[in-house]
Structure 1
Amino acid sequence: MAHTHSHHHSHNGNHDNETRLFCAFLITALFMVAEVIGGLLSGSLALLADAGHMLTDAVALFIALMAVRIARRSPALGHTFGWLRLPTLAAFVNAIALVVITVLIVWEAVVRFWHPRPVGGTMMLTIAILGLLANLAAFWVLHRGNSESNLNVRAAALHVMGDLLGSVGAIVAAIVIMWTGWTPVDPILSVLVSCLVLRSAWQLLKESVNELMEGAPRDLDIAKMQKALTRALPEVRQVHHVHVWLVGEQPLLTLHVQVIPPRDHDELLGRIHTFLRENYHIAHATVQMEYQPCSTTQCDLNQAQSAGAHHHHH
């Protein structure tokens, strides 16, 4: 692979990211377990909902950790992109699990609203406060790092930040129960926390499905890019057969350009690559240059398959 990934700048920076992600992951995972146990013992649904939220964090951190590790492994012949899709797949599975957890918690909340159960407020409060501290610790670990902490680490930090709200919800519920003994506040707040979980799940689902379905990066307008390319380079007559997709947050592009035969073929190719890199941050492009218009049957993916033309010369 000729292009350099942004996250190979300094080896120690990368290693540092990994250590920080791992610490944050451990803190979050341990406290998630503590909250599950505490939720079951104190009978608090809000704690269980917050544990669900902690799970979204732990998984987000785990995926980020995996992504950092995987970026170091070299691609094999069978998997020419290395394992860059693995975190995406993990995110997808995680998102579905989160939806299931949320549905279960909301269902339980509805049941408890009609048949309230006793909730141990003191224990609930203790664990909720510890959970909040754990979140703050994880956030501090992630944020303290160097400025070039990569996208994954920043995303994970935001995740942990959103999670503070979940712990705050559980704390509020515990205080209300201790002061007034009004237990329905627990299911009510557990539903609110579940909404937070659902929001992260929806984000994850949208992004991972887009990448797994070979969708283009969301902020890329392909038609605009075709126009911009023909405008910027006078030799380029027309751009077609454009495919853009993502592998582990890296955009990849293949396209055909019909050009006026240039004096220097490689120089024009170089300019096309430079244009794509500078304007669209696409470092990995495969460009096929043509002097004559392409025959349409060769260009259309679906038609090529239906025509049974498996051995056309691309």
Structure 2
Amino acid sequence: MPRSDTSHMHDHGHSHDHGHVPPVSADSEKRVRWAMILTGSFMLAEVIGGWLSGSLALLADAGHMLSDSASLALAWFAFRLGAKAPDKRRTYGYQRFQVLAAFVNGLTLMVIGVGIVIAAIQRLSSPVDVMAGPMLVIAVLGLVVNLVVFAILHRGDQGNLNLHGALLHVLGDLLGSVAAIAASLIIMTTGWDAADPILSMLAAVLILRGAWKILKRSGHTLLEGTPEGIESHEIRRELEALEGVESLHDLHLWGLTPQDPLLSLHLVVHDDVDHEHVLRRASALLRERFGITHATLQVESESCLTGGGCETEASRL
């Protein structure tokens, strides 16, 4: 009778179910928490300064910082939730919530960017006087705060999608502060009030560019896309080159987060091959060559013994 063996491979070298929790970086969580506190504290000052000076750039940046405070809080909560152990309803745990938080942050960035552009167009058609002096003071203070927050986050793990999304929010704030400073200086030296909405739009374009990147990356992960830096055809080629392996099928490669790749596949081997030996060699190859430490491998001595997507194998993932 044909045999069908299954192995769950992990970095600690023994078999069990999928109830694992990838480590959540305590450093990233701490950095996001400090960023949230600093951003939220300064946001009120920008609201008051923008209202008193009549600066759209400051008010836009204040609105952005308000959104950032909420987004950083969401990112921080995602780190906290991600540390929870798996349960009966969520056997993979809560790591995926980090990706969901990043996707929501990307959406809010898109809304903010579009909102700034619309407000700037309206301001160009109906210009108002701007008090450049108070605007400059608040903008400079905002720049200092944003630089501190940016430095805190930038020194963290940039491979973490949740932290990267928070960083993009803060980068948008930083650009907003730079735009406000430039606009105030232009207004003070030339009296050209249109500099305020124009520079606001330029900052908004950069915000939208960053938002699209984070939406694309987080959406790819939510759709179970192949993790960045790993090619399924390379995995197929390396595994099929192993001694005793005849072919493979039902190869699926995805990730809970971009840093936590998962893989499942069926290996078809020759009848006289030691299945355990093939599993050990395949597991070692995945770990050492591709950095995949969590894989479900099934060894079969008959092609497509357990069904699956065998009819699509001609397409070669």
Same fold (TM over 0.5): yes
With structure 2 as the length reference, what TM-score do the two structures score?
0.81
Q: Matched residues in 2 for 1:107 and 1:162: separation?
A: 17
Q: State how far apart, in whole Å, the 2-side matches of 1:44 and 1:191 are.
A: 13
User: Does residue 178 of structure 1 match 2:188?
Assistant: yes
The answer to whether residue 267 in structure 2 is matched with residue 244 in structure 1 is no
Provide the C-alpha distance between the structure 2 equivalents of 1:124 and 1:240, rounded to a whole number of angstroms: 63
Aligned partner (choices 110, 115, 124) of residue 113 of structure 1? 124
Maintained 8 Å contact 1:252/1:282: yes
2:17 corresponds in structure 1 to: none
Alignment equivalent of 2:32, drawn from 21, 24, 27: 21
Higher helix share: 1
- Please report how far the alpha carbon of residue 43 of structure 1 lies from its aligned counterpart in structure 2 after TM superposition: 2.1
Q: Is the 8 A contact 1:64 1:152 kept in 2?
A: no
- Answer yes or no: is 1:270 the counterpart of 2:280: yes
Describe the SS at the equivalent of 1:100: helix
What are the superposed Cα offsets for residues 221-271 of structure 1, whole Å, 9 maximum, x if unpaired?
21222012112x111111211111121231111111111246542232122
Give the corresponding residue for 2:52: 41
Which of 203, 209, 212 aligns to 2:213? It is 203
Question: Is residue 31 from structure 1 mapped to residue 62 from structure 2 by the alignment?
Answer: no
Q: For residues 108 and 86 of structure 2, what CA distance do their matches in structure 1 show?
A: 29
CA RMSD of aligned residues (A): 3.0
TM-score normalised to structure 1 length: 0.81
Equivalent residues of 2:78, 2:98 under 8 A apart: yes
- Residue 282 of structure 1: aligned partner: 292
Q: Deviations over 1:124-173 (max 9, x none)?
A: 1111111111012223444678xx89746973557645643331111010
Q: Cα 1:107–1:163, aligned 2, differ >3 Å: closer, same or farther?
A: closer
Alignment partners' CA distance in 2, 1:224 and 1:141: 37
User: Are 1:234 and 2:224 counterparts?
Assistant: no
Counterpart secondary structure, 2:91: coil
User: Which structure 2 residue ranges, 5 or more long, are not aligned?
Assistant: 1-7, 13-20, 313-317
Identify the structure with bigger relative contact order (alpha carbons < 8 Å, sequence gap 6+). 2
Q: Note closer, same or farther for the CA distance 1:257–1:235 as it changes in structure 2 (3 Å cut).
A: same
Distance change (3 Å), C-alpha of 1:25 and 1:239: same
Q: Is the 8 A contact 2:161 2:257 kept in 1?
A: no
For 2:135, give the aligned amino acid.
M
Paired residues in the alignment total: 294
Q: State the partner residue of 2:148.
A: 137
Change (3 A) 1:238 1:138: same
Moved more, 150-159 or 242-251: 150-159
